[in-house]
Amino acid sequence: MPADQQTVLDEILLSDLYNDPYPIYRRLRAQAPVAWVPAANRYLVTRYDDIVHLERNPEIFSANEHGSLMTRIMGHTLLRKDGDAHRRERAAAEAPMRPRTVKHHWLPLFQRNADDLIDEFAGDGTADLFQQFAGPLAARNLALVLGLRDALDTDMQRWSQAMMDGGGNYADDPVVWQRADTAAAEIDDAVYAAVRHARRQPDESVISAMVHAPDPLTIDEIRANVKVFVGGGLNEPRDSICVATWAVLTHPTIRAEVEADPARWRAVFEEAIRWVAPIGMYPREVTRTVELGGVTLEPGSRIGVCLGSANRDETVFERPDEFDINRANKAHIAFGGGPHFCLGTWVARAQVAQVALPTLFRRLPGLRLSDTEEVRLGGWVFRGLLNLPVSWTV
């Protein structure tokens, strides 16, 4: 790599990626699609085709990264395992999140939760939907699906943020580690109580499924995997609700289309997670010498799989920076790919596209962005809105 190009990469800061990673990704895709970025302490992989390739070859690009930040705070989760070990834990957890169970068991409960939350502020005429709707709804729904019967919305949101911050703590901030460790201990206590209940009274929850699987998971395996579900299973629906709502409110033509045909909310959801991928980057580790994107990677090389970049790859998506629910190519990879394709995909689609979005626009007439407060975004490992101030007609 030319010295001047490496100098440019050396100048990339985590703060720049947090504020707005897309200009950086655009430059990397064009000039250095597999680039060693010192601030991230890994090679960032930014092109769509390279990411699809590596996900199809997990024996070379392993999820079991040594020294993983996620493993440090959560334990050895299924997201950091490959092969039979991964398949065993995934199989134990997946039944409650299959489409049929989501449709017949969880969907009515998600709708009840959405209506209950909107009831609390519908008469006010203003709200921050991030704080008052999207976050609490994602938290409440996830607690139900996991079987964390005694966890409050506030607990779930605090735990999730701490897990996400820890998993993305590439700056090695000790305050972030302390917050993550505290949350991890509290999740362990909640899981222990849920496991005891599930052993006495099996139900449709993920924890119950893991307890009663043909090859049951140990308590340590359940605790680790609940942490990863809390970390990723709350922010993705929360952030996609906010991004999708913001997008529709700023695109009047799209708003008219979906309000005329509610079936189009599914397209809004899928485009929202392409446009701003909630899980923007995750790690992999190279197991043998391999070439990727014109770069030779040696065993042990750490890479960052940048979904947020791949989903805006101009060689795959026309006008990738625009929000367009009618684009010809809808093949985003916001849910990842290969053996690690997101286990909660159908849960996310149901609670966002079938419940949250249509319910918000139906129940809050004249919904519009605040005239006095700006919408803020942040993040690159996880990215989404930080607030969503709105008003409507009472």
Say what the pLDDT of residue 274 is.
Answer: 97
pLDDT value of residue 5: 60
What pLDDT does 205 receive? 97
pLDDT tens, residue by residue, 157-183: 999 999 888 888 888 899 999 999 999
CA distance 269 to 259: 14
- DSSP string of 197-255, one letter each residue: HHHHS--SSHHHHHHSSSSPPPHHHHHHHHHHHHHHHHHHHHHHHHHHHHHHHT-HHHH
DSSP H stretches of helix in the chain: 3-10, 14-19, 22-31, 48-55, 69-74, 83-94, 99-101, 107-121, 129, 135-146, 153-167, 174-200, 206-211, 219-249, 252-260, 265-275, 307-310, 345-349, 357-363
pLDDT tens digit at each of 394 positions of the chain: 555 566 668 889 999 999 999 999 999 999 999 999 999 999 999 999 999 999 999 999 999 888 888 888 888 888 888 899 999 999 999 999 999 999 999 999 999 999 999 999 999 999 999 999 999 999 999 999 999 988 999 999 999 999 888 888 888 899 999 999 999 999 999 999 999 999 999 999 999 999 999 999 999 999 999 998 998 889 899 999 999 999 999 999 999 999 999 999 999 999 999 999 999 999 999 999 999 999 999 999 999 999 999 999 999 999 999 999 999 888 999 998 888 888 889 999 999 999 999 999 999 999 999 999 999 999 999 999 999 999 999 9
What contacts 53, CB < 8 A, 6 or more positions away?
292
Q: How far apart are CA 356 and CA 350, in angstroms?
A: 9
pLDDT of residue 7: 66
- How far apart CA 254 and CA 239 sit, in angstroms, is 19
Q: What are the tens digits of pLDDT across the range 178-232?
A: 999 999 999 999 999 999 999 999 999 999 999 999 999 999 999 999 998 998 8
Closest CA to 62 of 82, 33, 40: 82
CATH, domain range 3-391: 1.10.630.10
Amino acid 213: pLDDT: 96
Query: What does the pLDDT read at residue 164?
Result: 83
pLDDT at site 66? 84
**What are the domain boundaries of the chain?**
3-391
Spatial CB neighbours of 136, under 8 Å, sequence gap ≥ 6:
117, 153, 157
What is the model's pLDDT at position 305?
97
